[in-house]
Structures are given as C-alpha cells and as structure tokens.
Chains A and B, each alone.
Chain A
Amino acid sequence: MKIIGNKITTNMSLFAFLGFLIIVFSFTSEHFLGIYNITSLLTNISYSGIAAIVLTLVIISRGLDISIGGVIGLTTVVIATLYSQSDPLPVWLILIIGLSTGALVGLLNGWCITVLNMDPIITTLGAMAITRGLAYVISDSQSILMFEDTTDFISNGTILFIPIPIILFLITALIFSIILHKSKFGRAVYAIGANETSASLSGISVKKVKMILYVLSGLAASISGIILVGQTSVGMPQHGIGTELEVITAVLLGGTALSGGKGTIYGTIAGVLILGVLFNGLTISGVRYVHLQIFQGILLLAAVATYEIKTRNEVAT
C-alpha cells in the first residue's frame, strides 16, 4: 500500500506542477488557453509522445533506445521514396512497409541485445548511425515531397473535431498503461528491470520480453515518422534529429529511473505534457527560442534532483 501511495504522490506532484505551469501561462498570454492553441499543442506533443510511451517500457526493463530519431528519419524517407516512384504501390502497402522498417530495426536491436548480450546504449547508437546513414543513402540527401491523402488524413484529419495524432497518442497511452500496469507482461517488464537474474530464475523468458520491447519501440518510432510525413508533406533524412534526446528527457522527467524497475505511463504522459506546455507557453509568451533549452535543462535537473533527494529521505526514514 505504501508503494502505491508513493507512486501516486510522485505522479500527483508532476500533475500539480503541470497545473501550475498552465495557470502561469494563462496569465502571461491571453491566447494560451484558446482552443486553437490547445489543439496545436496536443498535436505537437503526440508525435514524440507515442515514442515516449513505448520507450518508458524499454527503460523500465533497464534498456535504452537511442535509435528512435534515426528510425523516424528512415521511415519518412522510405515512405516518401516509395510513393514518389512512377508506378507507386498502394498506399496501405507503403504504410505497412514503413511500419516494418521500424520493426526490423527493433528486431536488429533486440537480437544484438538479447542474443549477443550487447550493451543497449552501444547497440542502439550503432543502429542510429545505420538508420540515419540509410536515410541519407536512399534519399541521396534530398527532401522528397509527398502530397497524399491518407498520410495527410492521419496527420491533419479529425474525428469528432479531435485531430487524429491526439487520438493515436491516447490509444497508445491507454493500451500501454493496461499492458504495463494490468498484465503479466507488464509485471515481467518491471521484474526484468529490477533484477534480471531473479526474473529469469522465476521463469520469465527475459529474452523474449526484451525482444518484443525493442520491436515495439521501433514500431512506435515509425508511427511517429508517418505522422511527421503527413504534417510536413515531405520525407527527408534530417527528420527526427535530436528527437531521441527529447523523448528520453520526457520519460526521465516522468520519474522513470534509468536504473530500471521503476516508472509509470502516467508519469511519462505528465513528462510529455510538461515539456510541451513549457515550450508552447514560453514561446507564446514571447520568450525567444534560444532560452527554451536553458529552461529544459534546468527543469530536467531540478526534477531528477527532487526524486533523488526524496528517495534518499525515504531510505533514511
């Protein structure tokens, strides 16, 4: 019961901070709470939010995926290149190929990490270079225009006035919070992160779980890529540079520990929202872009320092 209590308070303080930010920004800018700004804010965070949700599971299992940005870039290029052929494949097939690009990279990552026993940081660092490089090779460093109805609908369409990226983000969050917090698979993820040897001894097939996680992470990055293609109408190899660090920042801000075994989907949602609100709010209040990074850095350090000091106090008592 105590553990559950702590979990709730961590998330509560995050959402309280989020509320504080929203109140501050609604005073500094009259447009902040406008319906147009809120939808654009939520649409913008959905893109990296989907990747962040899945990365949460990977980090809880004591892994890491740095290849997210590279996969996003490669997916946009693959989709746009296939579509720009003189006799293009049907769109649904192109999208499936795009999705399987990410899944394939995830499979490679998972294979190296589970079978060859390689460090996840090193493996995904290599995968990042490979995916980014392939994106440059395939596109020959050009931007490939892609005006197409389906991807446009996925990124800019609405269902009941709600933009589809937001719906995708919510569905992903819902599915993965059920998987992580209510299913056997989720318990296995926590167990692996807390202690891999004891998880393995208690009958969890560690390799299988990890493999699935990395494939899902690649898949999520590809979905982000598809949304990006629709939003920008262009596939280019520079898409998604730096996204991996942004996504990791959001996950860590949400209270997930890099040392594994700890973290929640709600925390990550709060982390994604806080980063999004902060960037949007500061921009709309007239703060110049150059100062945003300073805020982002201070915020991450302050949040993690708070967790650290809090856990230390808990251990002391």
Chain B
Amino acid sequence: MKVWLKKLIYSDDIVGALGIFLVLLVVFFSVMTPHFFSLMNFNSIIGNIPAMAILCLGLTFVVLVGDLDLSLGSILGITAILAVFFFKVMHFPLWLNLISCVVIGGIFGAFNGAIVTKIGINSIITTLGTMALIRGLTYWIAMDVDAMQVGRITDPAFLNFGRYYFPEKSRLIPITLVYLVILYGASALFLNHTSFGRQIYAVGSNEATARLAGINVKRVRFVCFIIAGMLSAFGGLVLVAQLGLGEAYTGQNMILEVVTAVVLGGVLLTGGKGRLTGVIIAVLILAVIRNGMVHLEQVTDISFYWRDVAKGVILLLAIGLYSVRKSFNAKRLRTRQ
C-alpha cells in the first residue's frame, strides 16, 4: 500500500481526511451549481468566516489545555456593543478603540480563568455562568446605546478595518483574510515553536505529569483563557466593522457552532491534541456547506435548511470514524504484541 494512504487510514490525525473532504465538497458544489466556482463567491465565503474563525482560534487554546469556554460568544457580543459605544460616544480613534476592546476581552478572559484556576470550578459551569452574566451586561449597555440611537457606524476609516481589499480596485484579497493568515500563522508558530506553546500541549495531555515536570499548570490554563478572551474581542471588532453595526445579540447562539467547528477540526475535548490546520479546514467546510447549499437550492429543490442537518451528520461521522479507528488501532497494536 502507498505510504500516504496508509498514513491517512492509520494515523491519529484527521487533518488529511478533512482536507480531502473539503476539496470534494468544493468540487461537488462547483459541478452541481453554475455560480459557486467564482472569485466573487470565494471572497464572499471568506468574508463570512472571520469572526467565526477567530473565535475558533481562541477556543482552540482553551480546549488544548483541557478546558472549555462557552462565554466567547458573549465576549464577542459585549465587544461589539462597546466598540460602537467607544466610537460614537467617546470618540476614540481606531487604534485606541482596538486596544481598549481587546484589553476588555482579556479582562473577561482573566475573570473566567481566575474562577477556573483559583477556585477550581469546572470550566463548563463557570463559563455557562459568565456567558449569561456577560450577555446580561451587554443588553444593559445596549439599552443606553439604543437610547442614544448610535448603533450604526458609517465612518469609512472604521469600516475599512473589516472591509478593505488588497489591491483596493480589483478586490482580490480581503483584509479579513490577511488577519486570519496572520493570527493563525502566529498562533501556529507560538504553539509549535515556543516553550510556552509546548507547555499548553503538555498541560492538556496530562496535567499531573506536566506539574511534575515543573510547569506552572494553573498559569498556563489562566493565560489560555486570557488569549481566548482577547481573540474573541478582536473577532467582535472585525464583525462590527464588516456589518457597520453592533447589536446586543451579536454572537448569541454562536458558541455551539464554534465548539462544533473546533471538535470537527480534530481538537480533542480532553485536551493536548489538535492542530490549527484542522480547525481552519473545519471552519471552511462549514462555511462552504452554508454557502453551497444556497447555490444548490437555486438549481434543485433541496431546501438550504438541510445545511444544519449536514453539519450535524458530518460532525457525528467524523468523530465517530475517528473513535472507531482509534479502538481499531488499539486492537491492532494489541494483536501485534
């Protein structure tokens, strides 16, 4: 058997299989529908994913150390409202707005991290609580913002933060794609080539061993929550700039989709395993399905609401195959010995 095929079947990594699946999906929609395969449509797919992809990146850090953060959607929501508030009421320049929002996101992340590591409450319960808490605060602030009727942003400098294209005339590369490449590239370097990044994997795969190896486990987990909070805030800013609008319910019900993408990308919920390549491919798969189903509905009678069903089925299939293969591999090793 060819080596790469063997690797694909037996390795624990599902990134290769995900990549092939993404290509198959693109080919399928390109063949089935007339307008799917075009630069404009690809730009629109890329334009739809930044907030989602950035949240997934943040969640990946938290999941890699074996925790879960359900409050990221709420942090994105409060940033969206605060960005509008800072911009329209406080008249912050863009750079100051950016820094304040990211810092505030970091503070919320630190709040989560402090409860999880200092008091020792399960991260799911903690962030279930802070999710409601932060969303409540968002609605509270939004009431004032609504009362002042400042929800919409029309200032081009702010909007270009999420809508700019390189080069500007031919609309080839959206600025959001640049953000994603930089953020994912930097994070991949950070995770794989710095000692702190390796500590994240160490803590996630076995906390006790990591502690015995001299790693400050609590600090690593704490920092991951802060990184996730800051990234979510940045995602919120990008979303506001793209929409030209910040609303109280921005990012509501988003978190379960984010968890879906991260899990589909092959990041283990128990921590210690997962690659950013897998996460971004999973985000792209979900985005392609979302976009492709709309195209498909126009040429066939298939309702585009099947996309949610497809999402669930793909998640179950991917993780099901993964877990079947894992037990199969374990059996294979046992018979060899």
Residues of chain A touching chain B, judged by Cβ–Cβ distance below 8 Å, are 66, 112, 116-119, 121-123, 125-134, 136-137, 140-141, 241-242, 245, 248-249, 252, 258-259, 288-298, 300-301, 304-305, 308-309, 312
Contacts and interface: CB of A to CB of B under 8 A. Distances in A.
A133 to B, nearest CB: 3
Nearest to A132: B308
A125 B260 contact: yes
Interface string B95-131: 0000000000000000000010001111011101111
Given A118-B320, A121-B269, 16 more contacts: A118-B323, A122-B315, A126-B313, A128-B256, A129-B260, A130-B312, A132-B308, A141-B305, A248-B128, A289-B139, A290-B139, A293-B139, A294-B140, A295-B136, A297-B129, A308-B119
B243 interface: no
B308 A130 contact: yes
Q: What 6 A-B pairs are tightest by C-beta distance, nearest first?
A: A133-B308, A297-B133, A129-B312, A293-B136, A294-B136, A130-B312
Contact of B133 (A288, A301, A309): A301
B115 A133 contact: no
30 contacts: A117-B323, A121-B269, A123-B319, A125-B260, A128-B256, A129-B260, A129-B311, A133-B305, A133-B306, A133-B307, A136-B303, A136-B308, A137-B306, A252-B128, A258-B122, A290-B139, A293-B139, A294-B140, A295-B136, A296-B129, A296-B132, A296-B136, A297-B134, A297-B136, A298-B133, A301-B115, A301-B121, A301-B126, A305-B121, A312-B120
Given A127-B312, A301-B133, A122 B319 contact: yes
Given A116-B324, A293-B135, A312-B120, A123 B256 contact: no
B55 to A, nearest CB: 15
A294 B323 contact: no
Interface in B292-321: 303, 305-313, 315-316, 319-320
A30 B260 CA distance: 46
A294 B256 contact: no
A129 B121 contact: no
B277 to A, nearest CB: 20
Contact of A298 (B128, B129, B260, B308): B129
The residue among B125, B143, B323, B324 with the most chain A CB atoms within 10 A of its own CB is: B125
A291 B309 contact: no
Nearest to A140: B303
A309 B120 CA distance: 9
Majority secondary structure of chain B interface residues (helix, strand, loop or mixed): helix
Contacts of A66: 256
A308 B125 CA distance: 12
B132 A300 contact: yes
A134 B136 contact: no
Nearest to A241: B253
A136 B327 contact: no
B137 interface: yes
Interface in B185-242: none
A69 B305 CA distance: 17
The residue among B122, B128, B131, B310 with the most chain A CB atoms within 10 A of its own CB is: B128
B129 A112 contact: no
A119 B119 contact: no
Contacts of A134: 309
A244 B327 CA distance: 31
Given A118-B323, A133-B305, A137-B309, A301 B315 contact: no
Nearest to B263: A122
A132 B142 CA distance: 29
A240 B45 CA distance: 29
B114 to A, nearest CB: 11
A132 B139 CA distance: 26
A308 B121 contact: yes
B312 A128 contact: yes
A137 B303 contact: yes
A258 B125 contact: yes
A252 B315 contact: no
Contact of A242 (B119, B136, B139, B253): B253
B207 to A, nearest CB: 14
